[in-house]
Amino acid sequence: MDLIIRNGTVVTPSESYIADVGVSGGKIVALGKDLAASGANAVDAKGKYVLPGAIDVHTHLQMPFGGTVSADSYESGTRAAACGGVTTVFDYAIQRKGKGILETVEARRNLAEGVACVDFAFHCAITDLNGGTLLDEFAASVAYGVPSFKCFMVYKKEGMMVDDGTLAKILLKAKETGALTNVHAENPDMIDVRVAKYVAEGKTTPWYHYMSRPEFVEAEADIRAIHWAKSLNASLYIVHLANREGVDAVTKARDEGYDVYAETCPQYLHFNSDVYKRSDGRNFVCSPPIKGEASREALWDALRRGDIATVATDHCPFQQSEKDWGKDDFTKIPNGCAGIENLYPYMLGAANSGKITFNKAVEVCAANPAKIFGCAEKGSLAVGKDADIVIYDPDKDFTISCANMHSNYDHTIWEGVSLHGYPVQTYLRGSLVYDAGKFVGTPGQGKFIKRMGRA
């Protein structure tokens, strides 16, 4: 054995127990009491939790968007991921008119290969079916290891939106090829009408980003997407769900037996729309916007009862100077916030304070992402799985600050948020990549994860 992590509390979605974890060749090879050392590097985890590395299934690294490019590269974003206990990231490759799926994914994969600090996978966001011919590429994409396609139901002006007819074609083709359809659900026409009204009235502070995209703007599209999925009997995954009515629609669909999943993000669980009244409100501008307190509470309830399947970050940070473009005009603010390094510490902090269980944190941040998105080797501490492991100290206090993060961005919405408990080590396939506040891995050691399609 290469490594034994001794006497920690091993957490799975269903149980927690004290055991040693034995690692060899990057895999977990043994779990049990008093494993024989046989020359292995032994790490004492007594009093600590031993958890599977998190899988962040929603990031936008070096993404051209909002008139600029998001601030984290594949290297810096995955370095930060490692330091927050995330051992696999799923980035969105955005297909553009005239381009194929595989060429789009391979272009992004080439940017990540050789620099990524943790393992990586891709979803492909479809923005144009190229006259229908793109649908013929779905099966090849699934075979390549990219069995999930995203539809933006919004970002019309940005040329990224797909209309309902296109969404329906994608849902059907995804069903036929064993893929999953992800949707960013907001209604663009409602947004346009509301933005025009507020701008005409001279109401352009960041608060009006929220006011132009309030709860029902998101809910309308959630409900529409669910109706499409139900009527076609197709699987659906709603990304960054943030509103109560949408939660209710997901819950109902799941109760009726439909294959509908929802993801939310830590920013929607922690903050409410009051952040847009703050003097740094522009920094919180993301889409969908952070909603009111009733929605925040509904998200926690849905998470506890299993109707929110995953928590991911939608990591898409922009620098302060870029956020400042919209200081006096919310329509000019590039949409997106940082979070890749905060996901697991935040969710484990919620577990440590009793808001959820550690099992639930592991389920939504690691086990469910692996299961839903076809990562057979990842997402749990079990013999045969990749040794992607996080050691978490429940007694370590940590206050988040841009200065103690490991990204390229120059500010964070999480500045000043205090956590009780924090990850102290991260292992990627048995190799230590984060230790006591420092990145100790090697850029390039992250590898492309070929995912399996749905049965």
116, 316, 365, 419: residue in contact with ligand URP (rule CB under 6 A): 316
- In sign, the C-alpha dihedral spanning 55, 47, 400, 208 is positive
- Classify residue 93 by its DSSP letter: E
46: exposed, middle or buried (C-beta count within 10 Å: 0-12, 13-18, 19+)? exposed
Structure tokens at 343: 């996901």
Return the one option of ligand URP, Zn ion, none that residue 286 interacts with (CB less than 5 to 8 A, by type). Answer: ligand URP
Residues 274-293 that bind ligand URP (CB under 6 A): 286-287
β-bridge pairing 41-44 and 49-52 = unpaired
Residues 159-188 that bind Zn ion (CB under 5 A): 184
Cβ 222 to Zn ion, closest distance in Å?
A: 13
Return the one option of Zn ion, ligand URP, none that residue 335 interacts with (CB less than 5 to 8 A, by type). Answer: ligand URP
Cβ 188 to Zn ion, closest distance in Å?
A: 12
Cis peptide before 288 (omega within 30 of 0): yes
Beta-bridge partners for 236 = 181, 260
Return the one option of Zn ion, ligand URP, none that residue 244 interacts with (CB less than 5 to 8 A, by type). Answer: none
241 binds ligand URP (CB under 6 A): no
79, 109, 173, 184: residue in contact with ligand URP (rule CB under 6 A): 184
Is 313:339 a contact under the CB 8 Å cutoff? Answer: yes
Cβ 381 to ligand URP, closest distance in Å?
A: 30
**CA-based nearest residue to 282, from 251, 318, 326:** 326
Number of residues in contact with ligand URP under rule CB under 6 A:
8
List phi, psi (to 5°) of 289: -70, 160
Number of residues in contact with Zn ion under rule CB under 5 A:
2
Which runs of consecutive H residues, i.e. helices, occur in 84-186?
Answer: 101-112, 138-144, 164-177
Residues 44-83 that bind ligand URP (CB under 6 A): 60
Q: CB-wise, 326 or 336, nearer to ligand URP?
A: 336
Alpha carbons 234 and 369: distance in angstroms, whole number: 19
Cβ 201 to ligand URP, closest distance in Å?
A: 24
Q: CB-wise, 108 or 184, nearer to Zn ion?
A: 184
Return the one option of Zn ion, ligand URP, none that residue 336 interacts with (CB less than 5 to 8 A, by type). Answer: ligand URP
Residues 278-317 that bind Zn ion (CB under 5 A): 314
- In sign, the C-alpha dihedral spanning 453, 14, 417, 428 is negative
Question: Token match 């509470």: residue?
Answer: 297
Q: CB-wise, 265 or 387, nearer to Zn ion?
A: 265
The residue ranges that bind ligand URP (CB under 6 A) are 60, 184, 286-287, 314, 316, 335-336
The residue ranges that bind Zn ion (CB under 5 A) are 184, 314
